[in-house]
Amino acid sequence: MKTTRTELVPHTIDGKTRLVPITVPVPAPPRDWDRIILTGVTTTAALVVAASVTWSTASIGDLLTRIVIAPAAYGAAAVFDLAWIACMAVEWLARYDRQQAALPRRMGHSALAVAMLAVAAHGYLLGHLVIGIVGAVVSGLAKSLWTVVLHHQAPPLDDRTRAWIEQELADAGASLALIPARRRVQRAHALVAAERAALPSPDQSGQDADDPDATPEPATAGPMTIKDAVRTALDSGIREPDKVLTYVRKVADANAREDTVARYIRLAG
């Protein structure tokens, strides 16, 4: 089978060359039978897993309807197969990290064993133990087939390459873990700054603490506008306009005008 594609080629007329499109035949690549077969096997494995979930849910759901209503029974029954399917998916995601893949592999086998025992127990209670065992084997075959497919698709890695990938993932994980840690540190610093801004500053050295006219200067909390500085001074107990003006010029604007500060004092009052 052949296909075509368009190419630009130079074409000259009267000494003037231009690129003009032409259509050229291109042979189609041969069929990739390996990919076709792998796709078919993967589709078959997916259908087998779907059949396994259907059988297990129907069997275990019928078992649980003896004590609970049907919707709850069949909903819980679906968990038995979905548990090992989810574990198998996590195992596939962790295929480059043997230590991380070990836990979902063990949990998947455990969940599969529980599901198979539940299906077999249903057949035993109905007096059809052989049918129960055969039904349980369906789940085992489904997981085995899917495990074979995933194992075939996983790229083979030598120990050095695998160790290199694990170290790269560890570095990336450390960088990712630092993000919430830095956020917590920034929030802690912000809380400390807010606490310091809210509390009155201690008495300055040499200031008479018994002097009723001595008013402590409020703590600064970073750059302020004139309006914010006036509000901070008033909230800290500074009422004299000249002292408010002095504070504003210290923390907000060294060239703050007296009438501007007086206007903000009136608005705040």
* Residues 148, 106: Cα–Cα separation, whole Å: 16
Q: Could you list the pLDDT tens digit for every one of the 269 residues in the chain?
A: 567 888 888 888 888 888 889 888 888 778 888 889 989 998 999 999 999 999 999 999 999 998 889 999 999 999 999 999 999 999 888 887 778 888 999 999 999 999 999 999 999 998 889 999 998 999 999 999 988 988 888 777 788 888 888 888 888 888 888 888 888 888 888 787 777 776 665 554 444 444 545 555 555 445 678 888 878 887 777 878 888 888 888 887 788 888 888 888 888 76
Per-residue confidence (pLDDT) for residue 75, from 0 to 100: 92
Per-residue confidence (pLDDT) for residue 204, from 0 to 100: 47
Per-residue confidence (pLDDT) for residue 202, from 0 to 100: 53
What token pair was written down for 126?
Answer: 């109905």
Per-residue confidence (pLDDT) for residue 206, from 0 to 100: 46
Given a contact cutoff of 8 angstroms between Cβ atoms, the answer to whether 154 and 96 are in contact is no
* Residues 40, 103: Cα–Cα separation, whole Å: 30
Supply the DSSP symbol for 222: S
Per-residue confidence (pLDDT) for residue 240, from 0 to 100: 83
Cα distance between the two ends of the chain: 90
